Structures are given as structure tokens and as C-alpha cells.
Amino acid sequence: MDDMELEDIAKALVAPSKGILAADESTGTIKKRLDTINTPSTEETRRDYRELLLSTKGAGDYISGVILYDETIRQKAKDGRQLTDLINGQGIIPGIKVDTGAKPLAFSEGELVTEGLDGLRDRLAEYHKLGARFAKWRAVISIGESAPSQYCIDTNAHALARYAALCQEAGIVPIVEPEVLMDGDHNIDECYAVTETTLKTVFDELYKQRVVLEQMLLKPNMVVSGMSCPEQAGVEEVATKTLYCFEQTVPAAVPGIVFLSGGQSEQKATEHLNAMNQMGTYPWEISYSFGRALQASALAAWQGKKENEEAAQAAFLHRAKLTSAARDGEYSPDME
Ligand code: 13P
């Protein structure tokens, strides 16, 4: 993998039938996930859970890359191997979350700006040595009464572009993630408008900061109804509006769009991805970088117990297989 060019890494991450597993939950977020199965969050349980997923036989058929958290990229598997060696052995490319989280944005109550630029050049050099070949930075945009402000979109877009340029300089493919959150009672058209403005601003900044579009991937939200909107848009509408939004905003030079699942159920995220891949050909690959929508069943099957490891791996492999089918436009709900 060492001699791969950034373009080749980006293309490999969105190869046919494959997509990315987001397993980069911060220590706070993974604790919330483990709480749901009454499992304490310790360095060891976190390692056990991630090792379980990544050592699943056949995972490499559906998973091109995995986004890790700082703790995980340094951890060893139970047999003493570095986890990154185990991952590479599965034919999966290791990636790393490099932002340090979304913090309150000054003078804009309720809005957030993602931090992590200080010292990033040095951290990227270290992550490259540890085996990371791609990275992720997540900006969070919420929809509310008077949100988002253009100020919030601008500051987040500026940081995303600074991050992306530093990644490319370090020989790491940046995944640029501006997530418009699903929380709220807004309808799908409000989500469309905010997503469109956000993406226009992000690509403007990427251009100004000389980011090479062929050497990055975009990780966006789908255009969907707010979680508590009484009128939920159907699969066809989500797929049509999402694709139209990206046609308006994402340059053809970008090799792939890898969607986040953002709180959609496993099945809904899969149905949406499938519908988009059935709708025709687009300049970019349309794939996945799911966290919850690839892990929910596996986590529930595991319950933190050694004797459930096999069942959890089977659940993970099944979900990955269905998501991969959707990435190729070949999924149907009867495969569930
Ligand atoms: P979800 O698919 O659970 O939204 O996670 C993807 C991710 O990495 C969010 O940053």
C-alpha cells in the first residue's frame, strides 16, 4: 500500500461492491454505544469490540477501508499483532479520525465548529507512520429556528479545507465530512437547502485552498426529512433529491461520495443507498461510510460476551453484504 498514489487510494476506497466502515467513535461516543448493551467501556472492551468487527472473515469483500480512533490505531490485537496489521491482512485500508470534536462556536449560540487544526501537520505525519492512508474530519451543521448561520457554515468549511490540504501534503487522502444533522422537525426541502448551501461553501473553500479534488472523498448526509418531522419523505424522494443536490454542487473530479448514515436505521440507510445506485450513472461513485448502519446489529448480537462473538461477526458480515449490494444497486428488502 505504501507506493499507492493518493488518487489510487481514493479510488480503492470506492471500488465496486465496497465501502467504508466508520469505527472511529470517540471515547465518549463509544461509551454511549456500549452502555446500550450494558458493557463497561474500557480500553480492553473497546479493543475487543473493534477487533471482533475487523477480524470478521470475509469483511474485506465488502469493506474497503476503516476509520479508526486515535486509541485504536495504536492498539494490539489479542494475539499481539498491531490492529493495523490485522486490518491490512484483511485487504482493508486503515484510516484515522483527526478532528478533535465539535465545540461551541463563539458568538453563535447553539452552533458548533470543529477543532483540531493545531499541530495537525505533525499528527498526520505520525498517523502516516502508524499506517493510516486516509483521514476524516467531521463538521456539524444543525437546522433550527434561525440556524444554520452562514457564519457557522463558513468557519466549518474553512477548517475542512485547511485539514484537507494538510492531509494531501502528508500523503493521506482526506475525507471531507460536512454533516447536516437529521435532528429536528424540518422537512426534506429545508434539509435540501441547507445541504446545498453547505456543499457550495465547502467546495468554494476547497478550491481556494488548492485541495486536489481527485485526491479526496466527500462524506455527506443524505437529503432526508428531519427525525421528528411529521411528514417523512419516502425512499424515492430521498434518492432523487439527494442526487439532484449533489449534481448541483459536487464537481465531477471528485472520485466518490461516501454517505454517512446519521441515525437512519440500518435498513433505511441501505434502501436509500440502493435507490441512488439504481438511478443511473453519475460522475462519482456512490458508496458508504456508515457507522451505526453497519454496526447496530453486530453490537446488539455481541452484548459484550465472548460466547456471542461468532454471532456478532455473522451479523456484521450480513449487514456489510447487504450494504455492499446497495452500493451496487442490487439490494432488495427480502435479502434482510
Ligand atoms: P454514522 O453512519 O453512524 O452517522 O457514522 C458515520 C460517521 O463517521 C459520522 O461521522
Q: How far is the CA of 149 from the centre of ligand 1 (A)?
A: 23
Q: How far is the CA of 214 from the centre of ligand 1 (A)?
A: 23
pTM: 0.98
pLDDT per position as a tens digit, 18-39: 999 999 999 999 999 999 999 9
The mean per-residue pLDDT over the stretch 52-75 comes to 98
In DSSP terms, 256 is beta-bridged to 285
> Of all atoms in ligand 1, which is nearest to the CA of residue 262?
4
Catalytic residue among 25, 51, 111, 177, which? 177
97 Cβ partners below 8 Å, 6+ apart?
Answer: 24, 26, 67, 68, 69, 70, 135, 136, 137, 138
**186 backbone dihedrals φ, ψ, rounded to 5°:** -65, 155
Among residues 219, 241, 266, 285, which one is catalytic?
Answer: 219
Atom number of ligand 1 nearest to Cα 294: 2
- Count Cβ neighbours within 10 Å for each residue of 289-313 and write b for 16 or more, e otherwise: bbbbbbbbbbbebbebeeebbebbb
Number of Cβ within a 10 Å radius of residue 103: 11
In this prediction, residue 3 carries a pLDDT of 54
Q: Render pLDDT for 220-235 as a digit per residue (tens, 0 to 9).
A: 999 999 999 999 999 9
Confirm or reject CATH 3.20.20.70 for domain 6-335, answering yes or no: yes
Length of the chain (residues): 336
Pocket-testing residue among 98, 290, 319, 323, ligand 1, by greatest number of atoms within 8 A of Cβ: 290
Cβ of 331 below 6 Å from ligand 1: no
Distance, in Å, from the CA atom of 188 to the CA atom of 79, rounded to the nearest integer, reads 48
pLDDT band at 280 (very low <50, low <70, confident <90, very high): confident
Contacts of 89 (CB under 8 A, 6+ apart): none
CA of 177, closest atom in ligand 1:
10
DSSP string, 46-77: HHHHHHHHHT-TTGGGTEEEEEE-HHHHT-B-
pLDDT of 1 strictly over 60: no
**Does the annotation count 219 as an active-site position?**
yes
Is the beta carbon of 68 within 6 A of some atom in ligand 1? no
Q: 184: helix, coil or strand?
A: coil
Give the pLDDT band (50/70/90) at residue 4: confident
Please state, in angstroms and rounded to a whole number, the distance separating the CA atoms of residues 255 and 217: 7
Question: Residue 150, SS3?
Answer: helix
| Amino acid of residue 262 | G
Residue nearest to atom 5 of ligand 1 (CA): 291
Q: Is the pLDDT reported for residue 188 higher than 70? A: yes
In degrees, rounded to 5, the angle at the alpha carbon of residue 85 between the alpha carbons of residues 81 and 91 is 145
In this structure, the number of other CB atoms found within 10 A of the CB of residue 38 comes to 8
**Cell numbers of 85, please?**
496489521
Task: Give the mean pLDDT of the chain.
Answer: 97
Q: What pLDDT is recorded for position 313?
A: 98
Angle formed by the axes of helices 266-278 and 309-327, nearest 10°: 30
- All 3 cell numbers of residue 221? 448526509
Assess whether pLDDT exceeds 70 at residue 2: no
Question: What mean pLDDT do residues 10-19 have?
Answer: 98
**Quick one: CA torsion of 76, 59, 182, 35, rounded to 10 degrees?**
-50
Give residue 261's pLDDT.
Answer: 98
Mutate-to-test residue for ligand 1 from 261, 266, 287, 323, highest number of ligand atoms within 8 A of CB: 261
Judge if the beta carbon of residue 69 lies within 6 A of ligand 1. no
Give the mean model confidence (pLDDT) for residues 169-175.
Answer: 98
| CA of 292 relative to ligand 1 center, distance in Å | 6
- Compute the distance between CA of residue 121 and CA of residue 134 in angstroms, rounded to an integer: 14
Residue with the nearest Cα to atom 4 of ligand 1?
262
Residue 105 DSSP class? P
Averaged pLDDT for residues 184-208: 98
pLDDT(299) > 90: yes
Give the pLDDT band (50/70/90) at residue 335.
very high
Which DSSP state fits 306? G
| Residue in 20, 160, 260 to alter for ligand 1 test, most ligand atoms within 8 A of Cβ | 260
Active site residue 208: no
- Calculate ∠ Cα 80-291-52, nearest 5°: 25
User: Domain-by-domain residue ranges, the chain?
Assistant: 6-335
Closest by CA to 120, choosing from 158, 170, 65, 154, is 170
CA neighbours within 13 Å on the CB side: how many for 170? 27
Q: Does ligand 1 come within 6 angstroms of the Cβ of 138?
A: yes
Q: What atom in ligand 1 is closest to the CA of residue 289?
A: 6
